[in-house]
Amino acid sequence: MELESTISLEVFFVSDRTGITAEALGRSLLTQFNKDDCRYTMLPYIDTEEKLSTVIQKIHAAKSDNRQVIVFSTLASKEHRQRLINEDFFVLDLFATCLPPLQSAMHRHSSPAIGQTHGMGDQNQYLARMDAVNFTLNVDDGLRTKDYEHADLILAGVSRSGKTPTCLYLAMQFGIRAANYPLVEEDLDKGQLPEVLKPWKEKLYGLVIDPDSLQKIRQSRMPDSRYASIEQCRKEIRQADTLYRQEKIPVVESSSMSVEELATTLMQKAGLQRQY
């Protein structure tokens, strides 16, 4: 929670749908400025005159002498975006800015339908995506290894290296059936690939993490245990690294990457595209 007085930029994301695209756009652009005193507010489902009026009032109320307002919007209704743009604050509307050049390129006019980026789309595509999430949950953490046959990729790594969030993101965002296998001490001490992974080497990837990050994560989970000791973390990581190298398993580095970056890097390595 920021102190009211330290906020110098109020950023609003206004959309007639979820606002996820407006937010991604706005945050991406703002990374180009060194501003860390922003407050972000999402205002989704602004699809009537009345809701727009309320939003406009709210934005005006946030303005003050030493506080600037920036609005990122995705409003498919031409009337709504015109109304917002005419207000006395800065608005960058995705459709107003980007549709005209795209229209020229496409040699046709856009229809004023409400954007459906994050809408249901095709019901079967939606079910396929939810199936990927269920698949990933069902084979999480080394469960049901007989289902590896149906996985698009398998991610191996030591405990708490970030396998589950990465696999869930792959399933949720891209519809990828991502299994994960925890390399436990028993596997690592054998110094060879666990039997259940051997048939699937061509879709197997290894997660690498630095010992200090791993120690921090394990420590918050099981404070002062052998499991969370820096010696144990170093040993497991060294053994895992040796195994990956020996078996020529491609690796991704989880300590320096976000879950989005891990997921897209894995897709790139595996030559996978969005499945829905």
In the list 7, 38, 42, 62, the residue contacting a second copy (rule: CB under 8 A) is 42
Stretch that binds a second copy, among 52-60, 123-131, 176-184, 185-193 (CB under 8 A): 123-131
Q: Does 101 bind a second copy (CB under 8 A)?
A: yes
CB closer to a second copy, 153 vs 243: 153
3-class DSSP state of 15: strand
**87/81 Cα distance (integer angstroms):** 10
Site for a second copy in 57-86 (CB under 8 A): 68, 70, 74, 76
* Strands 68-74 and 90-93, bridge-based pairing: parallel
Query: Nearest approach, Cβ of 110 to a second copy (angstroms)?
Result: 4
- Residue window 153-192: x/- pattern of binding to a second copy, with contact defined by CB under 8 A: ---------x-xx--xx--xx-------------------
CB closer to a second copy, 104 vs 186: 104
DSSP letters along 166-194, please?
HHHHHHHHH---EEEEE--HHHHHHTS--
**Residue 252, CA distances (Å) to 49, 190, 241, 262, 268 in order:** 48, 23, 11, 7, 11
User: How many Cβ atoms are within 10 Å of 229's Cβ, its own excluded?
Assistant: 14
**210/172 Cα distance (integer angstroms):** 27
Q: Does 92 bind a second copy (CB under 8 A)?
A: yes
Q: Does 7 bind a second copy (CB under 8 A)?
A: no
Site for a second copy in 229-258 (CB under 8 A): 256-258
Site for a second copy in 210-229 (CB under 8 A): 216-217, 220
Tokens of 87: 């207000």
